[in-house]
Amino acid sequence: MGTHQGRPYGMHPMKLGILGGTFNPIHLAHLRIAEEVREACGLDRVLFIPAAAPPHKEIAEDVPFAQRLAMVEAAIAGHPAFEASDLEARRTGKSYSVQTLEILRRQQPENELFFIIGLDSFRDIALWKDFPRLFELANIVVAERPGIHQGDPKDLLPVAIRDEFCYDCSAKKLLHHSGTCVIFLEETRLDISSTRIRQLVSAGRSVRYLIPAAVEQYIALHGLYQS
């Protein structure tokens, strides 16, 4: 679909998924989560947003933003509902999710946002910048490992904001007083990590079936992750 430049999507409200990450490199687990959330939530579009300057970790091997974005574009080429965005490279400072969601909300006030996050990250969300605001800006879709989630979902929320939610058992979602919700989705857990892919490439080993062929070709062409 090419790179999203913040242009309006037309007047029809859309359900827009947002999947962020360093994507260093993007792999099949990222793509599968996006596809499962797209299907389960009836999303019109999923926006892949590489982090330009992630607040909590360094970019391994200093792979530049432009190359990580190019790998995302190569990975999603041919999927009509997937789109890459350079939004976080077009502003200065750290790539805080809350600021990214603020920008998308401002640019596209008619659209409903679905912010996709793993269960591990969701457990740590109280450490994120302005975390209560995240729940006002977007629905949060928590991708769970099958069979892992136990107990009351409200227990996963930061204590400071628990009383802002009620749980809808039948829909498996937490409803926020602002009108958004937190949705828990069991996803196909593919045990693939970008760290492991970088290690394999560095060791001269095969990464076939862990990343799309187009990404594998890009890594080889640009000599990425060679120690």
- Which CATH number does the domain housing residue 51 bear? 3.40.50.620
pLDDT tier at 150 (50, 70, 90 boundaries)? low
Mean pLDDT over each residue of the chain, to the nearest integer: 91
* Boundaries of domain holding 109: 14-191
pLDDT tier at 1 (50, 70, 90 boundaries)? very low
Number of domains comprising the chain: 1
- CB distance 113 to 18 below 8 Å: yes
Whether residue 197 lies inside any domain: the answer is no
- CB distance 174 to 149 below 8 Å: no
Whether residue 157 lies inside any domain: the answer is yes
Cα 43 → chain centroid: 14
SS3 call for 125: helix
Q: Which amino acid is at 38?
A: R
Whether residue 4 lies inside any domain: the answer is no
Question: How far from 58 is each of 63, 128, 184, CA to CA, in Å?
Answer: 10, 16, 29
Whether residue 93 lies inside any domain: the answer is yes
- CB distance 94 to 28 below 8 Å: no
> 178: which 2 tokens?
């602002």
Residue 196 phi, psi (nearest 5): -65, -40
Cα 216 → chain centroid: 21
pLDDT tier at 147 (50, 70, 90 boundaries)? low
The alpha helices in 85-212, defined as continuous H runs, are: 97-107, 119-123, 131-137, 194-202
Whether residue 52 lies inside any domain: the answer is yes
> 161: which 2 tokens?
């904001």
Whether residue 147 lies inside any domain: the answer is yes
Whether residue 224 lies inside any domain: the answer is no
pTM over 0.85: yes
Compute the average pLDDT of residues 76-96: 94
> 44: which 2 tokens?
């019109």
Sheet (strand 3-4) strand order: 3-4, 82-85, 45-50, 15-21, 112-118, 139-144, 181-186, 173-176, 165-168
Q: Which range among 94-103, 121-130, 144-153, 169-178 shows the weakest confidence by mean pLDDT?
A: 144-153
- CB distance 113 to 101 below 8 Å: yes
Q: Is a pLDDT exceeding 90 seen at residue 92?
A: no
- CB atoms < 10 A from the CB of 94, how many? 14
Whether residue 119 lies inside any domain: the answer is yes
> 193: which 2 tokens?
């990590």
pLDDT tier at 57 (50, 70, 90 boundaries)? confident
What DSSP state is assigned to residue 143? E
